[in-house]
Structure 1
Amino acid sequence: MAHKTITEPDCEADAFRDECGVFGIFGKADAAAVVTLGLHALQHRGQEAAGIVSYDGSQFSVERHVGLIGDTFTKPSVLARLPGSRAIGHTRYSTTGGEGLRNVQPFFAEFDGGGFAISHNGNITNALTMQRELQKRGAIFSSTSDTETLLHLIAMSDREYFIEKFIDAVTQLEGAFSLVGLSGKKMIGARDPLGIRPLVLGDLDGAYILCSETCALDIIGARFVRDVRPGEVIVITEKGLRSYFPWGEIKPRFCIFEYVYFARPDSNVEGRNVYETRKNIGIELAKESPVEADMVVPVPDSGTPAAIGFAHQAGLPFDLGIIRNHYVGRTFIQPTASIRHMGVKLKHNANRTAIEGKRVVLVDDSIVRGTTSQKIVQMVRDAGAAEVHMRIASPPTVASCFYGVDTPETSKLLASRMSTEEMRDYIKVDSLAFLSMDGLYRAVAEPSRNKECPQFCDACFSGEYPTDLTDRDSDDGTRTLSLLAKHG
């Protein structure tokens, strides 16, 4: 994949990046075709590369490609190279452009007892530390991904049976991980003990499915069975399903930002419908930060459900004052300064007829660096808005994520170095307000945030990380911080 040529502030970098999506099916003819459909539904979780590994009873087949699912895996020639009734897949967002295929998952390895493939959503926060230890013991890494660490830990385990080796390996990991693995005899799913990233179990005509979100079940007509529990290791064989809980009982800390932005609105995550939760967020936002205005306009698409809730609570008209171009990809190369200045308009354009002369409330999911917000506000003003107010459907983002989400380092987050009033002046709006932390918790059906024991992982808003960050806190912290951001 080509490197971007942007030298000025990049609007593409002024956003959270979706992490990864995983999907696996066990016991269904043309399994790879089903996985392709499932990954297509999970495309929002990663749009730069994807891979599928299938097994036909005698051998594994591997296909990994840079690009969107629809541009690669829908070709009959590709699917023909993935025979079998068992398959797993992965769709990925990478934070670097030059690493090519070597970090594209699923990863596959031949162990003493046979082949094994693994897909991972999340980030292992002690991966670099463990890689150094493994390399001293003779391990040779072929990628820079944290996921490969798991394969080496499995290979070096002294346990007798494969599932024991797998459990021995995953219990040495820190951070966030939702895993789907495939061997010659079984499909394995696992969530970290805090359940930071989602993973669900489904059924399609008797074939078990493991995937990141319920929307991937809907696209193939599968039945949602349940969420994989935090700290659960699921083993699926021809005999059925068996669960292990090697970590015991630990209070979960699911990522609350999945409800704000990452999960698809039509998914149900941890018992909550994402779309309804985002509308509730907008309702809470309107209660906390009302403003006299003529209309509510979402910053599409992530701000739309919250804007609907805000408009309903505020008794204001909801209108599409900004239109999004859905045909602009993330890797659009902007070769000249004049084109770079048009970066926001490649994706968004103001609907002058709707907003001219109006007092507009813009609703967005978050502010990261603030450069995109600046440009959108100016675009709305240029279209004739009389006033522009901004309401953000989450608390201020003050800390980086180390759990599988590509975020800028903390010093580059606008809210980490400016007050709300300073941010208001920076993005040039008439007023600016963020949802409070308690308001966010109320929106997801919790009365308030338990400050002594938070119900979710909200580290990007609070700076309180629920796991150890061994790599970040190591002696070589500067290097590990930069590398952590590159692992998806």
Structure 2
Amino acid sequence: MCGVVGLYHPNGELAPRLTYYSLFSLQHRGQESAGIASFDNHIRQKRGMGLVTEVFNDEDFELLAGRSVIGHVRYSTTGKSKLENAQPFVVKSKAGYIAVAHNGNLVNYVQLRNELENEGRVFTTNSDTEVISQLLSKFLIEKKDITHALERLNESLVGSYTLTMLFDDAVVGFRDPLGFKPLCVGRIDEGYIVCSESCAIDALGGKFIRDVKPGEAVIIRDGDIEFVKIAESERKAVCIFEYIYFARPDSIIDGVSVYRARSEMGKVLARESPADADFVSAVPDSGITAAIGYAQESGLPYFEGLIKNRYVGRTFIMPAQSLREASVRLKVNVVRENVKGKSVVLVDDSIVRGTTSRRIVQMIKEAGAKEVHMRVGSPPIIAPCYFGIDMKSREELIAANHTVEEIREIFGADSLAYLSLEGLLEAIKRAGGGRDYCLACLTSRYPVPVPGEECVC
């Protein structure tokens, strides 16, 4: 998914530290690399592989001093997991300095890159974010105007693109017209922050102002803030996986509390698929909120059947399948005293490849559980994502290749049930949301044209 930050603060020594804290709050969105770029007469940057705390130290903040700053945490979709693909990307052109941090994925990346190479532009990475950087440079040379550049950029891109950018000393945030990925704005002391999730604003003690609307840009320069409509769209396609899994539960996205949405998913799931069991447990951490909702609705007690090692990252967003498999036992351990001889309802937020779920059910059974009833707080994931989630092919998606009963047998669970699509939308509606979401991974119907796929555009 990736997490992006754009920040302005009149204290140039404090601004990069605040950006660091913001990125730390968004660490769940990407754990492969992190980077910060700042402007002080010219752009300075630091990028590195690993977690935010591993990339930056106190000396870096002195070198990165500047009032205008952007930052990024990454997990790879387009572009391999290596340092040259870490963000932000920086371009120096006739129009000035440009730095770009990108959350999303371009469907027409190859076509755009070929066109730019034919114009003589040289690329140093295989990341689609470098394409965005080069296009912005090109459009700013045409006319040194931020609004013009973003309008031209929007005309060129197909896919998902939530961006934070530096145009010299201007901090800019932009959200694509369908609003695939979240972006919001907050007030911090004498400055402002633009970021992927509201939890980053809270971490700085800031005040949430509002979400950036789909197709809208926010421009911050010299302490002044302006919202500019760049593109119109009659519909939205907010990524449903933000509410199911990716976002932190304490965030609010487009007016919807992620915690409330997941709790409602658990409640609807309990009504749709009850189980005769002794207690409800969760696959931590992302399944906890739905499990609590399931327990509340079903009247069953909630206990911890699994304990998570908080020092192991999110296995779903690890880049290699072998790493995901090896990390399961490191990630969670069974509370034997709680599960031995008991029938357990085990609630997870979603099942993608099934590797972790299969191993966890086995672990609980090996610890002496009498029965394990698996319940999933989302519908089956049956189609790949082309917009920034690491689900690249149907071959790796267990629900695209097996029936629910077959999956139950693979896991060794005593029963298995998913939340229905109607139940998912009902849960989000009960949390205050609408129905304008990208459901492609659940329906195989895509909101923008994707070669070889059905489009509902």
8 Å CA contact retained: 1:120, 1:180? yes
| Structure 2 match to 1:313 | 297
Question: Does residue 1:117 correspond to 2:99, yes or no?
Answer: yes
Which protein has greater RCO, CA pairs closer than 8 Å, 6+ apart?
Answer: 1
**How many angstroms does 1:169 deviate by?**
1.8
8 Å CA contact retained: 2:77, 2:105? no
8 Å CA contact retained: 2:261, 2:430? no
Q: Which consecutive residues of structure 2, in runs of 5 or more, have no partner in the other structure?
A: none
**How many angstroms does 1:165 deviate by?**
2.3
**How many angstroms does 1:98 deviate by?**
6.4
Correspondence list, 1:351-366, <5 A? 351-366=335-350
- Alpha-carbon distance change, 271 to 59 in structure 1, aligned in 2, over 3 angstroms: same
Matched AA of 1:94: S
| Structure 1 match to 2:387 | 403
- Alpha-carbon distance change, 99 to 426 in structure 1, aligned in 2, over 3 angstroms: closer
Question: Does residue 1:382 correspond to 2:363, yes or no?
Answer: no
**How many angstroms does 1:124 deviate by?**
1.2
8 Å CA contact retained: 1:441, 1:448? no
- Alpha-carbon distance change, 66 to 355 in structure 1, aligned in 2, over 3 angstroms: same
| Structure 1 match to 2:142 | 159
- Among 54, 57, 76, the residue aligned to 1:71: 54
Hey, what's the Cα distance between the residues in 2 that align with 1:25 and 1:447? 30
8 Å CA contact retained: 1:150, 1:170? no
Question: Does residue 1:132 correspond to 2:114, yes or no?
Answer: yes
Correspondence list, 1:42-441, <5 A? 42-56=26-40, 58-73=41-56, 75-94=57-76, 99-157=81-139, 159-163=142-146, 164-238=148-222, 240-329=224-313, 343-441=327-425
- Alpha-carbon distance change, 97 to 421 in structure 1, aligned in 2, over 3 angstroms: same
Query: Structure 2 length as normaliser, TM-score?
Result: 0.92
Instruction: Name the count of aligned residue pairs.
Output: 445
**How many angstroms does 1:277 deviate by?**
1.1
**How many angstroms does 1:84 deviate by?**
1.2
Question: Does residue 1:456 correspond to 2:411, yes or no?
Answer: no
Hey, what's the Cα distance between the residues in 2 that align with 1:24 and 1:101? 21
In angstroms, what is the RMSD of aligned CA positions?
A: 2.4
Hey, what's the Cα distance between the residues in 2 that align with 1:432 and 1:393? 11
| Structure 2 match to 1:476 | none
1:31-75: CA deviations, max 9, x gaps?
Answer: 10000000000000001110000112x2221100111111222x1
**How many angstroms does 1:239 deviate by?**
6.4
| Structure 2 match to 1:7 | none
8 Å CA contact retained: 1:37, 1:220? yes
Equivalent position SS for 1:169: helix
**How many angstroms does 1:447 deviate by?**
11
- Percent identical among aligned pairs is 43
Matched AA of 1:144: N
- Alpha-carbon distance change, 130 to 285 in structure 1, aligned in 2, over 3 angstroms: same
Q: Which consecutive residues of structure 1, in runs of 5 or more, have no partner in the other structure?
A: 1-18, 474-488
Matched AA of 1:321: G
**How many angstroms does 1:366 deviate by?**
1.1
**How many angstroms does 1:408 deviate by?**
4.2
**How many angstroms does 1:166 deviate by?**
3.2
Matched AA of 2:168: G
Matched AA of 2:439: D
Comparing 101-110 and 441-450, the one that deviates more:
441-450
Matched AA of 2:60: V
Hey, what's the Cα distance between the residues in 1 that align with 2:220 and 2:199? 22
- Alpha-carbon distance change, 98 to 288 in structure 1, aligned in 2, over 3 angstroms: closer
Matched AA of 1:292: D
- Alpha-carbon distance change, 159 to 197 in structure 1, aligned in 2, over 3 angstroms: same
**How many angstroms does 1:425 deviate by?**
1.2
